Structure 1
Amino acid sequence: MAKKIEKEMSFLDHVEELRWHLVRSTIAVFIFGIVAFIMKDFIFNKILFAPKNADFVTYRFFCKVSNFFGTDGLCIDDLPFTFQSLDMAEQFSVHIWTSITVGFIIAFPFIVWEVWKFISPGLYEKERKGARSFIIVSSFLFFIGVLFGYYVVTPLSVNFLGNYSVSDMVERNIKIGSYIALVRSSMLASGLIFELPIVMYFLTKMGLVTPEFLKKYRKHALVLVLILAAVITPPDIISQIIVAIPILLLYETSIYISKVVVKQELKKEKENA
């Protein structure tokens, strides 16, 4: 057999094993969360509040693109809203949840490693040797997604929603919790969406997805991608297209990965026949 023989474990043994993987992952998130909690000024003033400034790198880039085409339609001088805290514990709550989120993002490679250790007993020996590649690729895609959420999705959302107004009589005083929740959700959602190729890899390994299936429902996937882009971005077509393009590229990458996995499985079946 190609699989390495492991000592059989009962259902409760698997639950116990999973519990310790979750405990170690939680401890890692907690440790990095403490570091993030201590670095409050840097995380909030230099990172999270940066998209509020008109000179943020993304706004400057769009302005240069706009100037290249002889217009200043994408340039902004100011984001006309201010932050406010209306609840007694709001700032402390925002600080806690932001620290946990940052802890999760930083600890993501370790969490992936724990996931790998849990599922590896059910894999082939050759597949177990790919642990390093799995962790590197998964972490790389996640961090790229987080950066995409921070530098693309967040500025588009902040710019649109921060400038949107139904009447000049309404003052733009944004609750700090609402703003931070927008930034957090944009980064985490994008990071997890960029894990699509990894998800498709394992679904193909389990026989739940095939390249033919992904190709057949490509048009349906396009509709779902556009809906997803509409959910995580402002309701303007340019923002939706900007977000939809990388997701579609990830989907096409997933089709290629699925093809590779199917070929590998067929090759193994021939070798074992």
Structure 2
Amino acid sequence: MAHKTGRNSNPEGRMALKEHLLELRNRLFISLGALFVAAVGGFFLYRPVLALLIQPLKDAGGMANFSTAVSPFDIMIKVSLFLALVIASPVWLYELWAFIVPGLKKKEKRTALGFIGVAVPLFLLGIFLGYWVLPHALVFFLGLTPDIAVNLITVPEYLSFVLRLLLAFGLSMIIPVLLVGLNMIGILPGRIIVKNWRITVFLICLVAAMAAPGGDALTMFVLAGPLLVLFAAATVFCLVNDKRRAKRRAEQEEENERLIAHGDSID
């Protein structure tokens, strides 16, 4: 594979642009293959998952309708692709990490497995939080409907809103884990995270605001709150990890100097 060639020709694992593009292509093919297989399985789960997604709308007093004859088929495709992203998340998250850190060494592969072991549950947790927020957001917005009107919401529009909300919650939860992973392999020092904390907090609030339907405050707080806590925990972890790394490096340098001095005295 392309990344092995890059590792053999360069011990540091750096790649030329052509090799990096080949690496991207290979990673995309693997991810798309996993998504395709997962989407096939998603077809069998389509009906119960669709019912689960529409239930909050019914509980809020809304009615879901198909506007065209082909809409059910389009919805089947959308729901199956969403399920594919969830089911195949261990694969495409690993491929994402392997592309960011090409030519993984043994230690980096352990870090990658740790990244997947934490990122996948957080991704699923984010989707769960999004689903928990969904009924509250629907009650708020449907409650604005005048008494003389009835909410007849088309399923394609409703599902586009729901799936975007769930994915925004899920993907946002991965960001702090990515910061920790990059720190553990020595790419992202903790001091860089601290230096840019204002920008990070702003981006977290911006993502939360974009994910919130119509600027719903509850959705913003539910998403931004856990993200800020995870970001703070990731920052503390990175700083502690940097201190441990610096201490080990200093001890190794002292040991090397001691061995050199001992060797000189013997000579």
TM-score higher than 0.5 here? yes
Name the one with the larger helix percent. Answer: 2
- 2:86 maps to 1:105: yes
- 2:144 maps to 1:164: yes
Pair 1:264–1:97, CA change in 2 (3 A): farther
Residue equivalent to 1:246: 226
- 2:206 maps to 1:201: no
What is the aligned residue count? Answer: 242
Structure 1 segment 65-214 matched on structure 2, within 5 A: 79-119=60-100, 121-152=102-133, 154-165=134-145, 167-202=146-181, 204=183, 210-214=189-193
- Structure 1 residue runs of 5 or longer lacking an equivalent are 55-78
1:195 CA drift (Å): 0.8
1:100 CA drift (Å): 0.9
Pair 1:129–1:200, CA change in 2 (3 A): closer
How many angstroms apart in 1 are the aligned matches of 2:186 and 2:204?
23
- Structure 2 residue runs of 5 or longer lacking an equivalent are 1-5, 10-14, 257-267
Pair 1:229–1:146, CA change in 2 (3 A): same
1:207-262 Cα shifts (integer Å, max 9, x gaps)? 77554454455455445444433332244444433332212111212211321342
Q: Percent identity?
A: 26
1:172 CA drift (Å): 0.9
Residue equivalent to 2:259: none
1:94-135 Cα shifts (integer Å, max 9, x gaps)? 211221111011101011233344455545542333332221
Secondary structure at the counterpart of residue 83 of structure 1: strand
- Aligned pair partner of 2:56 in 37, 45, 51: 51
Match for 1:112: what amino acid? L
Higher relative contact order (CA 8 A, sep 6+): 1
Match for 2:167: what amino acid? L
Structure 1 segment 228-247 matched on structure 2, within 5 A: 228-234=207-213, 235-247=215-227
Secondary structure at the counterpart of residue 171 of structure 1: coil
Contact 1:33 1:103 in 2 (8 A): yes
Secondary structure at the counterpart of residue 7 of structure 1: helix
